[in-house]
Amino acid sequence: MVASDIVRLIGKPVPRYTSYPTAPHFHAGIREADYGAWLESLPRSADLSLYMHIPFCDSLCWFCGCHTRITRRYEPVGLYLGGLIREIRMAAEKVPDRAAVSHIHWGGGSPTMLSPDDIRRLGTATREVFALKPGCEFAVEIDPRGLDQARIDALAGIGLTRVSLGVQDFDPEVQWAINREQSFEETQRVAEAFRAHGVSSLNIDAIYGLPHQNEARLLATLDKVVSLDPDRIALFGYAHVPWMKKHQEMIPPESLPGIEERFVQAESAARFLIAAGYVRVGIDHFAKPADALAVAARRGALRRNFQGYTVDPADALIGFGASAISSLPNGYTQNEPTTGRYLALISEGKLPIARGVALNEEDRLRRAVIESLMCRMEMDERILAQSTAPEAVKGEIRAEMDQFRDEARRGWVIRTRDGLIVTEAGRPFLRLIAARFDAYLAQAAGRHSVAV
């Protein structure tokens, strides 16, 4: 049983800190000209990471929190791809010549909505305008349901290196409640088809906290997941945000596990995966000990970006497509989220920026503190010493470090002479601990999902 004050704490809504400041604090004052100038001012031989967003699916999963729309026709997908390729060319013109790409990620929605020819077109268009570094990683989010051999061949043919398969849960009642029927056999077929092509790195996404899920059902799903021998497993807590995602109203609140049950599911799943030979990475990832993600976590080199945890040390993440977010040294920008407006701006020859935020020195310092906590489970004076933020801000952060007495008493954090260490017992509370260094949270511009 979890003590009631802990339940209250983990039921508190806080951001997932895939950026700082977080997306609700982006504003319309950041325009296309800012983004263009920020791309042009990248270091001459910048290391780049590219994200391409495909916001289409052929059926709607009711739990889905992603930016996507449902279409049964190919026409809008084909039209969108034309705009996406044009955006890639426009942005590439602004990027310094010697910049090269170390990571590519296609996400969605479902990138597998693209036809095999369009998969190749997007792959070729990227290589035409960007130099890829040797060993460039290329990951694609894949919904295994109904995925045909032609698309698998096309993805392998353009150099895919990691497959990220969406599983969520294998239990039939849970699948029915989230409108996502997906058999283990079909998932296995897709994993094996990519392996037969030599795509050796496999990630699987699963979720706890779904309707009608309980500990036993979750562990049965994870047992099947582990039997597919993935290198990485992302186990997300279901984010129920029906005020942002209307279709989540299809999930009756009474079918959802409560906060306490969510906590039990998350911790029981972690014990199960650790016993199966995986290492816990950050708040929601697990990796085989020899996988690059686990190695980076051990070496303190783990990073966090919009795709979650990564080993990607790139100077800039450039996001393409409707709603995509870019993270550049000067700040963040987000593209127009609706595909219609996005395509209209592209057809006018404009980079389709809707909002963003420029970083000041305080933001950079707080971002470094929060990323250090989320990735390394510690922060210390060195981060403050390297920062050019005003001394007053550093003083505030030092004072914030002193306000963890309750957490220290519970054994979640250790206040060292010059920093904070989050213990293994404190790991489930990392988002809450990081949130204490978030200067924007008090302004309450956004509603977030619960902390666990």
Ligand X SMILES: C[S@@+](CC[C@H](N)C(=O)[O-])C[C@H]1O[C@@H](n2cnc3c(N)ncnc32)[C@H](O)[C@@H]1O
| Residues contributing to the site for ligand X (CB under 6 A) | 63-66, 107-108, 110, 141, 143, 166, 168, 205, 207, 236, 238-239
What is the nearest approach in angstroms of ligand SF4 to the Cβ of residue 165? Answer: 11
* Residue 156 found at the interface with ligand SF4 (CB under 6 A): no
Q: Which of the ranges 107-115, 193-201, 346-354, 440-448 carries the binding residues for ligand SF4, by CB under 6 A? A: 107-115
How far is the C-alpha of 321 from the C-alpha of 122, rounded, in Å? 12
What is the nearest approach in angstroms of ligand X to the Cβ of residue 221? Answer: 12
How far is the C-alpha of 28 from the C-alpha of 42, rounded, in Å? 22
Q: Which of the ranges 33-41, 102-110, 288-296, 344-352 carries the binding residues for ligand SF4, by CB under 6 A? A: 102-110
Residue 402 CB-density burial (10 A; 0-12 exposed, 13-18 middle, 19+ buried): exposed
Q: Which CB atom, from 80 or from 130, has the smaller least distance to ligand SF4? A: 80
What is the nearest approach in angstroms of ligand X to the Cβ of residue 77? Answer: 14
* Residue 144 found at the interface with ligand SF4 (CB under 6 A): no
CA dihedral sign, ordered 404, 409, 410, 411: positive
What is the nearest approach in angstroms of ligand X to the Cβ of residue 178? Answer: 9
How would you classify the pairing of strands 413-416 and 378-380?
unpaired
**Cβ pair 269, 218 in contact under 8 A:** yes
Q: Which CB atom, from 66 or from 408, has the smaller least distance to ligand SF4? A: 66
DSSP state of 442: G
Q: Which two tokens stand for residue 402?
A: 């002193």
What is the nearest approach in angstroms of ligand X to the Cβ of residue 79? Answer: 20
Q: Which CB atom, from 339 or from 372, has the smaller least distance to ligand X? A: 339
What is the nearest approach in angstroms of ligand X to the Cβ of residue 263? Answer: 16
Q: Which two tokens stand for residue 40?
A: 């042009």
Of 57, 81, 136, 343, which lies in the binding site for ligand SF4, with binding defined by CB under 6 A?
57
The entry of ligand X, ligand SF4, none that residue 22 binds, CB within 5 to 8 Å by partner kind? none
What is the nearest approach in angstroms of ligand SF4 to the Cβ of residue 106? Answer: 12
The entry of ligand SF4, ligand X, none that residue 327 binds, CB within 5 to 8 Å by partner kind? none
The entry of ligand SF4, ligand X, none that residue 218 binds, CB within 5 to 8 Å by partner kind? none
DSSP state of 42: S
Contacts by 131-136 with C-beta closer than 8 Å and gap 24+?
A: 131/99, 131/100, 131/101, 132/100, 132/101, 132/104, 133/47, 133/100, 133/101, 133/102, 135/102, 136/101, 136/102, 136/103, 136/104, 136/161
Of 52, 61, 430, 441, which lies in the binding site for ligand SF4, with binding defined by CB under 6 A?
61
Instruction: For residue 325, list its beta bridge partners.
Output: 334
The entry of ligand X, ligand SF4, none that residue 263 binds, CB within 5 to 8 Å by partner kind? none
* Residue 165 found at the interface with ligand SF4 (CB under 6 A): no
How far is the C-alpha of 53 from the C-alpha of 42, rounded, in Å? 22
The entry of ligand SF4, ligand X, none that residue 389 binds, CB within 5 to 8 Å by partner kind? none
Residues 6 or more apart from 442 whose CB is under 8 A from it? none
How far is the C-alpha of 317 from the C-alpha of 308, rounded, in Å? 13
How far is the C-alpha of 448 from the C-alpha of 240, rounded, in Å? 9
Q: Which of the ranges 54-62, 119-127, 147-155, 392-400 carries the binding residues for ligand SF4, by CB under 6 A? A: 54-62
How far is the C-alpha of 94 from the C-alpha of 14, rounded, in Å? 36
The entry of ligand X, ligand SF4, none that residue 333 binds, CB within 5 to 8 Å by partner kind? none
**Cβ pair 427, 280 in contact under 8 A:** yes
Of 66, 295, 344, 432, which lies in the binding site for ligand SF4, with binding defined by CB under 6 A?
66
* Residue 108 found at the interface with ligand SF4 (CB under 6 A): yes
The entry of ligand X, ligand SF4, none that residue 194 binds, CB within 5 to 8 Å by partner kind? none
Q: Which CB atom, from 112 or from 305, has the smaller least distance to ligand SF4? A: 112
How far is the C-alpha of 379 from the C-alpha of 364, rounded, in Å? 14
At residue 118, what is the residue type? Answer: D
What is the nearest approach in angstroms of ligand X to the Cβ of residue 105? Answer: 11
* Residue 166 found at the interface with ligand SF4 (CB under 6 A): yes
Residues 6 or more apart from 370 whose CB is under 8 A from it? 17, 20, 434, 437, 438
What is the nearest approach in angstroms of ligand X to the Cβ of residue 142? Answer: 6
Footprint of ligand SF4 on this chain (CB under 6 A)?
57, 60-61, 64, 66, 68, 108-110, 143, 166
